[in-house]
A = this chain, B = another copy of it.
Amino acid sequence: MFEFEIAAEAGAARAGTLALPHGTVRTPAFMPVGTQGTVRALSPLDLRAVGTQMLLANTYHLHVRPGEDVVATLGGLHRFMGWDGPILTDSGGFQIFSLQGFRRVDDDGVVFQSHVDGSRRRLTPETAMDVQWTLGPDVAMALDHVVAGPADTTTATDALARTTRWLKRCRDRHAALSAEHPGRQALWPILQGGTDPALRAEAVACTLDLGSWSGLAVGGLAVGEPRPAMYATLDALAARLPRILPRYLMGVGFPEDLLEAVARGMDLFDCVAPTRNGRNGQAYTPDGPVNIRNAAHRTDPRPLDETCDCETCRTYSRGYLRHLFVAGELLGLRLLSLHNVRFLIRLGEDARRRVLDGTFAGWRREWLARYTARSAA
């Protein structure tokens, strides 16, 4: 269980398979985000239909509402949300440090204010493990100290040191929880360090010192830094990370970022952008994103994306989709979310196929040139 096998490589890019308790994931793979135990506007059947292999859910949100005990009473996260494939939960660190409201960090953990009812809650490395163990995903994430935005070296160094100390406690607690069910859940650490090469190198070294992990997550990117800085950080990380572990780049992303990250050796991705942007009327196409509310689509009989095999593109015209958005109809939110998720999943599938058949480099170049041509024009 939790083995990762690499079937082919193309430069730093890899085509892998990851064995998890609820199924095998072929990588590169995009994981749709079910923040509150549901991917907004989509059902599990929709997600299966567009090739979703693995979902993400949020420990913070589920802890605050409905509470992990309610989820456990209702059969655990898989049964709760009606998804029988692999699930990964993040630890809550990112949410606690990015949502509005009170928070206080000390070495023991973090006290924060629930965004639902304003109540004060405490999350420690140990309780982060307990909550995720109770929820029951295939992969749990370690609690990290996320620094919001660009930070000075002292702050970033302190946060990294705290993340490392917390990782040790997460590891110990998770080992204790797993003792009787060793194949039930993996714990993956999160590498922080921003875009500072020295901090990133230290994060890798400290993290690898602390355990024999089955996967690693890269946090602290795609948080507003310039794209070249993100890509350079990934290049540097790819050279330092153990080849045989799956690499999960948190919070990515936009289609072009996902493909650039695949080229730099990342395997798993998550982001709310495809569903959030879809609800706002933005649809991904091979020629870049389009805004479906635009009057140009009013009588356009073409699908959003003529190359796409999703229900939205197989069934509906741009003119109808525009009508749904202009008329404020719920179906529009769902149909664009569905297409955007399919777009990213297909990007992972295509990248994998190109790595396997040896055409990745040229395909990537052409794909990015087409996707970005309009915005560059």
Contact = CB atoms under 8 A, between A and B. Distances in A.
Interface of A: 36-38, 40-45, 65-66, 70, 73-75, 79-82, 298-299, 301, 311, 315-317, 319-320, 322-324, 326-327, 329-331, 333-335
Given A66-B326, A80-B323, 13 more contacts: A37-B320, A38-B329, A38-B331, A40-B331, A42-B331, A43-B311, A43-B335, A65-B326, A66-B323, A75-B301, A80-B320, A330-B330, A334-B334
A82 B301 contact: no
A42 B43 CA distance: 12
Given A66-B298, A319-B73, A41 B82 contact: no
Nearest to A41: B330
Contact of A40 (B66, B75, B322, B330): B330
A56 to B, nearest CB: 15
A74 B320 contact: yes
A320 B66 CA distance: 9
A80 B333 contact: no
Contacts of A311: 43, 45
Nearest to A65: B327
A59 to B, nearest CB: 15
25 contacts: A36-B323, A37-B320, A37-B323, A38-B329, A38-B331, A40-B329, A40-B331, A41-B330, A42-B331, A43-B311, A43-B331, A43-B334, A43-B335, A45-B311, A65-B327, A66-B322, A66-B323, A66-B327, A70-B323, A73-B301, A73-B319, A79-B317, A80-B317, A80-B323, A334-B334
Nearest to A331: B38
A310 B320 CA distance: 27
A315 B257 CA distance: 35
A70 B300 CA distance: 9
Nearest to A81: B320
A334 B79 CA distance: 19
Contact of A299 (B45, B70, B316): B70
A124 to B, nearest CB: 25
A228 B32 CA distance: 52
A130 B43 CA distance: 39
A36 B329 contact: yes
Nearest to A82: B315
Contacts of A334: 43, 330, 334
A296 to B, nearest CB: 13
A65 B37 CA distance: 35
Nearest to A299: B73
